[in-house]
């Protein structure tokens, strides 16, 4: 059980919060916006996991959430701080693994040539919400790279770009599976 005093520090009552190294910044700082978007994406993937029954997809989603934790840690830790060397950072191999999952699901999913209206099934709609959040998180990461010079986040931006594609495919895949089972 977590004690109330350890969760509620009141340190943010004045509108600021701490990065991983203790550096204080405004809560509306770009870095906290980016971390919040990544956290929201992970939470939405948790909503998907709570409804999902496919073990392979559950494993993929959990692995994705672990990568999102790494992205959040990279955002929260200044690259020149000694703590940065202690965090797990995303690499291009993580992007490659995501591309492999995307290719595998794309092989088994029909993608039409028309725009998709989300909501074909409850689970596919939740995946489409995750995709939209992912796109927002990616835009924030791009701003961190361009405006703050955080080039170390480039693999994270690539990962989120591929992840949004994968989430689109997964939403179509799930809705097609559910329709074939006669569920709507």
Query: Cβ(18)–Cβ(8) under 8 Å?
Result: no
In angstroms, rounded to a whole number, what is the distance separating the alpha carbons of residues 153 and 30? 14
Question: Which of the four pLDDT bands, split at 50, 70 and 90, describes residue 22?
Answer: confident
Phi-psi region of 100 (alpha: psi -120 to 50; beta: other; left: phi over 0): alpha
For residues 71-97, average pLDDT? 94
Query: Cβ(174)–Cβ(124) under 8 Å?
Result: yes
For residues 77-103, average pLDDT? 94
For residues 49-76, average pLDDT? 96
For residues 53-71, average pLDDT? 97
For residues 50-73, average pLDDT? 96
Read off φ and ψ for residue 28, nearest 5 degrees: -95, 15
Q: Which of 87, 73, 64 is nearest to 159 (CA)?
A: 64
CB 41: neighbour CB atoms within 10 A? Answer: 29
Question: Which of the four pLDDT bands, split at 50, 70 and 90, describes residue 184?
Answer: very low
Assess whether pLDDT exceeds 50 at residue 110: yes
Read off φ and ψ for residue 25, nearest 5 degrees: -145, 160
Top-tier CATH class for 27-76+88-97+118-184? mainly alpha
For residues 31-44, average pLDDT? 98
Question: Which of the four pLDDT bands, split at 50, 70 and 90, describes residue 5?
Answer: low
Cα dist from 170 to 29, 135, 145, 184, whole Å: 33, 15, 28, 16
Query: Cβ(78)–Cβ(84) under 8 Å?
Result: yes
Query: Cβ(155)–Cβ(92) under 8 Å?
Result: yes
The length of the chain in residues reads 184
Residue ranges per structural domain of the chain: 27-76+88-97+118-184
pLDDT in tens, 126-182: 999 999 999 999 999 999 999 999 999 999 999 999 999 999 999 999 998 776 665
In angstroms, rounded to a whole number, what is the distance separating the alpha carbons of residues 44 and 85? 29
Query: Cβ(41)–Cβ(130) under 8 Å?
Result: yes
Assess whether pLDDT exceeds 50 at residue 33: yes
Q: What is the pTM of this model?
A: 0.90
């Amino acid at each position: 059980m977590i004690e109330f005093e350890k969760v509620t520090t009141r340190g943010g009552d004045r509108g600021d919060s701490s990065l991983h190294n203790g550096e204080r910044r405004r809560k509306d700082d770009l870095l906290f916006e980016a971390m919040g978007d990544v956290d929201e994406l992970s939470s939405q993937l948790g909503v998907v996991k709570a409804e999902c029954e496919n073990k392979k997809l559950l494993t993929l989603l959990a692995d994705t959430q672990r990568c999102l934790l790494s992205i959040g840690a990279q955002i929260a830790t200044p690259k020149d701080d000694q703590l940065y060397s202690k965090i797990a950072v995303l690499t291009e191999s993580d992007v490659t693994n995501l591309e492999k999952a995307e290719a595998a699901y794309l092989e088994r999913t029909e993608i039409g040539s028309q725009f998709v209206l989300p909501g074909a099934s409850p689970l596919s709609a939740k995946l489409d919400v995750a995709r939209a959040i992912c796109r927002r998180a990616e835009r924030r990461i791009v701003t961190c790279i361009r405006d703050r010079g955080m080039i170390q986040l480039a693999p994270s931006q690539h990962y989120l770009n591929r992840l949004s594609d994968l989430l689109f495919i997964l939403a179509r895949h799930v809705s097609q599976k559910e329709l074939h089972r006669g569920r709507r």
